[in-house]
Homo-oligomer: A and B are copies of this chain.
């Protein structure tokens, strides 16, 4: 195990050529005589020679690595974007380094530093805590030493005061898909649950939600729009809060800030043994597909999100320093949750 691995010099020596020539054979972008090429290729094959990517990175000053920092890969929303990005990056010869910040700012800063030291060529950031109006937000200044040196791509987020590119799902449009769908099902009382005031994606959705109620001339009640969080428990609690209202003051349909809160809402309805509301979630994660009832959900264009992020980042390294922002269209994945009343 772990025998000394062979280098380009070993190959060169046995082939009776210089390392430069072997390098040229490998890069195959430079003329080498057919005879020499064959001799070298045969030896590469014979010894299973693999060029050392670390050494190559050092000389070429390119690592072909991209850092991908997100709060938690266990969350299917993030993992789906990651997987699409990874798939696409591979076709472009890049390797992603995934970093789970566990939603803590220390981890986030730490990983940014590690990635920078490892000479990644760019960083993709999702759902981070940088410059958020949150208790343990990361100050931009803290990480700017890192982020200023590297092309940065934010997915579904934007940091004020930081020069970076972004790719986002048009969540206002997503909200329109959701509301429109429910309205067409005949709903006139639509609530919105989950999210945290001050988080961009929440704010966008909430604003769109209110505007749409106006547009469709639907009643809005403060008690129908419940901030809480992003997890299952959040959804359960939201239902509990709603049920404190008079029965005739309840909404008939609920939009969730994501699928998880809808899962929670479903649990609460089951626990309380009430006929569930009609639901529409956001993110279209596997959860929505696998739960029973299945959940109708506004889907991110996952593959586009991943691909555009990689593409822009790769080109960003080359091109000028204007920052690009791309807005992508969501779509609605209609499932049974809106006909749950049939149960």
Task: Count A interface residues, CB 8 Å.
Answer: 64
B-side contacts of A14, CB under 8 Å: none
What is the minimal beta-carbon distance from A50 to any residue of chain B, in angstroms?
5
Contacts A50-B117, A58-B55, A232-B289 given; indicate if A150 touches B2 (C-beta within 8 A): yes
Contact A83–B87 (Cβ < 8 Å)? no
What is the chain B residue whose CB lies nearest that of A115? B95
Contact B1–A151 (Cβ < 8 Å)? yes
Q: Which of A129-161 contact B (CB under 8 A)?
A: 145, 148-151
Q: Once the chains are docked, how many angstroms separate the CA of A76 from the CA of B285?
A: 12
A116 beta carbon closer than 8 Å to chain B: yes
Partner of A317, one of B2, B53, B118: B2
B-side contacts of A267, CB under 8 Å: 290, 292, 294
A3 beta carbon closer than 8 Å to chain B: yes
Contacts A1-B148, A55-B58, A270-B293 given; indicate if A80 touches B86 (C-beta within 8 A): no
Q: Which of A205-226 contact B (CB under 8 A)?
A: none
Which of A48, A52, A291, A292 lies at the interface centre, i.e. has the most chain B CB atoms within 10 A of its CB?
A292
Contacts A53-B117, A119-B54 given; indicate if A270 touches B292 (C-beta within 8 A): yes
Q: Which of A262-301 contact B (CB under 8 A)?
A: 263-264, 266-267, 270-271, 286-287, 289-294
Contacts A145-B48, A232-B289 given; indicate if A80 touches B74 (C-beta within 8 A): yes
Q: Once the chains are docked, how many angstroms separate the CA of A268 from the CA of B203?
A: 38
Contact A113–B50 (Cβ < 8 Å)? yes
Which of A48, A83, A87, A95 lies at the interface centre, i.e. has the most chain B CB atoms within 10 A of its CB?
A95
Partner of A119, one of B53, B149, B287: B53
Q: Which of A1-24 contact B (CB under 8 A)?
A: 1-3, 5
A339 beta carbon closer than 8 Å to chain B: no
3 shortest interchain CB distances as A-B pairs: A267-B292, A53-B117, A48-B145
- Residue positions of A touching B, CB distance < 8 A: 1-3, 5, 48, 50-55, 57-58, 63, 72-74, 76, 79-80, 82-83, 86-87, 90, 95-100, 102, 110, 113-114, 116-119, 145, 148-151, 163, 232, 260, 263-264, 266-267, 270-271, 286-287, 289-294, 317, 321, 343
